[in-house]
Amino acid sequence: MEHVRIRTVKKEDFLEIMDLASKCDPIPVERDSIYHLFTKYFADTCFVAEKDNKIVGYILGFISQLEKNVAYIHNICISPDLRRKKIGSSLYQKFFQNMKKEKCQKIFLIINPTNKLSISYHESLGFNVSKEGEEIYVEGVRASKDYNGPGKHMVVMCKYL
C-alpha cells in the first residue's frame, strides 16, 4: 500500500465520499445526506484513505449511544481500480484501533447474504456470523430474517475486540 494515508474524515470530505460511493458496487445506493451525516456528526469514528490528495477509500462507523461498548460499521468503499491493495484492511485496522481506544468490545456490520466474497473477507478479519434474529438461509448462508425490512434478509456479523 504505497503512498496511501489513512486519516479521520473532515466535514469537507462529504462530496468526495459521496462521489466515490457511487462507484462502489455492490454497496446499495443511499441518500446523499447519509455521507454528510457521517462526516459531520461521526467524524471521530470514520476514516478515509488518501492517495495523491484524493480520497480512494473510506470506512464509516459509529459507537452505539445505547451500548457504549458496541460499534457499528455502516459501510466501507475502496476505489474499484485500487482494490486488493490492502487499503480496506488498513481502514479496518484503523477503525479497530480507534474502537479499542474507545473501550468498545464488539463491532457489528451487516452484509447481503448473496455477497459471499464480502462475508469471506470479513471472516478473515475476525468477524463471525451472529445468531441475532430469526434464522433464515439464503443461498446456503445463515441470515437474519427481515433484518432490513420485509424480505430484506441480512447477514449480521460481529467481531470481538
For the stretch 32-88, pLDDT in tens is 678 878 888 898 999 999 999 999 999 999 999 999 999 999 999 999 888 888 999
| One domain, residues 118 and 82 | no
CATH number, domain at 1?
Answer: 3.40.630.30
Output the pTM of the full model: 0.90
Same domain, 119 and 44: no
Q: Which domain holds residue 124?
A: 105-161
- Does 70 map to a domain? no
In the chain, how many domains are there? 2
Mean pLDDT of 130-139: 94
Q: Given pLDDT bands bounded at 50, 70 and 90, which one contains residue 1?
A: low
Is residue 109 within 8 Å of 128, Cβ to Cβ? no
The Cα–Cα gap between 111 and 90 comes to 20
Cα–Cα distance between 154 and 132 in angstroms, integer?
10
- Residue 116 included in any domain: yes
SS3 for 16? helix
* Cell numbers linked to 102: 474507545
Residue 99 CA to residue 110 CA, distance in Å, equals 18
Q: Is 146 left (phi over 0), alpha (psi -120 to 50) or beta?
A: left
Read off the pLDDT of residues 57-68 as tens digits, 9 standing for 90 and up: 999 999 999 999
Do residues 140 and 81 both lie within one domain? Answer: no
Residues 119 and 159 in one domain: yes
Most confident of 10-24, 71-85, 86-100: 86-100
